[in-house]
Structure 1
Amino acid sequence: MSHQPYQLAILDDHPIVLEGLVRVLSGNGTFDIAGAFTTAKDFLVFLSNHPVDVVLLDIILPDSNGMDLCKIIKTTAPDTVVLALSNHDQRSAIMKMLENGASGYLLKNASIEELVNAINDALAGQLVFSDTIREIITRPAPDMAAAPALTAREQEILKLIASGITTKRIAEMLFLSKFTVENHRKNLLQKFGVKNVAGLIQAANNQGLLS
Structure 2
Amino acid sequence: MLTKNTALAIVDDHPIVLEGLQRLLANVNGITITGCFTTGSAFISFLEENKVDVLLLDITLPDINGIELCKTIKEMSPATHVLALSNHSERSMILQMIQNGATGYLLKNISAEELIACIHEAMSGLITFSKAVREIMARPSVGELKSTPQLTKREKEILYLIAEGQTTPDIAQQLNLSPLTVETHRKNLIQKFQVRNVAALIKMASQQGLV
Range of TM-score over shorter length? 0.5 to 0.7
Separation (CA, whole Å) in 2 of partners of 1:58 and 1:40: 10
SS of residue paired to 1:97? helix
Match of 1:52 in 2: 52
Preserved CA contact (<8 Å) 2:2 2:120? no
Preserved CA contact (<8 Å) 2:2 2:30? no
Q: How far 1:20 sits from its partner (Å)? A: 0.8
SS of residue paired to 1:122? helix
2:110 maps to 1:139: no
Alignment of 1:161-172 (within 5 A): none
SS of residue paired to 2:96? helix
SS of residue paired to 2:106? strand
C-alpha distance 2-111 of structure 1, shift in aligned 2 (>3 A)? closer
Preserved CA contact (<8 Å) 2:59 2:86? yes
Q: Unmatched 5+ residue regions in structure 1?
A: 144-211
Separation (CA, whole Å) in 2 of partners of 1:8 and 1:93: 23
Separation (CA, whole Å) in 2 of partners of 1:121 and 1:5: 16
Q: How far 1:66 sits from its partner (Å)? A: 1.1
> How many percent of aligned residue pairs carry the same amino acid?
54
Separation (CA, whole Å) in 2 of partners of 1:2 and 1:112: 16
Separation (CA, whole Å) in 2 of partners of 1:107 and 1:30: 23
Separation (CA, whole Å) in 1 of partners of 2:2 and 2:43: 26
Match of 1:176 in 2: none
Separation (CA, whole Å) in 2 of partners of 1:80 and 1:30: 16
Preserved CA contact (<8 Å) 1:11 1:38? yes
2:68 maps to 1:68: yes
SS of residue paired to 1:60? coil
Deviations along 1:105-159, one digit per CA (max 9) or x if unpaired, are: 111111111101100111001111112211211235649xxxxxxxxxxxxxxxx
Deviations along 1:73-102, one digit per CA (max 9) or x if unpaired, are: 100000000000011101111110000011
2:84 maps to 1:84: yes
RMSD: 1.7
Separation (CA, whole Å) in 2 of partners of 1:130 and 1:24: 17
Preserved CA contact (<8 Å) 2:2 2:123? no
Match of 2:39 in 1: 39
Judge which range, 24-33 or 75-84, deviates more.
24-33
Which amino acid counterpart does residue 4 of structure 2 have in structure 1? Answer: Q
Task: Tell me which structure has the larger Cα radius of gyration.
Answer: 2
Preserved CA contact (<8 Å) 2:58 2:84? yes
Match of 1:119 in 2: 119
Q: How far 1:3 sits from its partner (Å)? A: 3.7
Q: How far 1:2 sits from its partner (Å)? A: 7.8
Q: Unmatched 5+ residue regions in structure 2?
A: 147-211
Match of 1:109 in 2: 109
2:7 maps to 1:25: no
Deviations along 1:150-192, one digit per CA (max 9) or x if unpaired, are: xxxxxxxxxxxxxxxxxxxxxxxxxxxxxxxxxxxxxxxxxxx
Task: Give the TM-score normalised by the residue count of structure 2.
Answer: 0.65
Alignment of 1:156-195 (within 5 A): none
| Paired residue total | 143
SS of residue paired to 1:61? coil
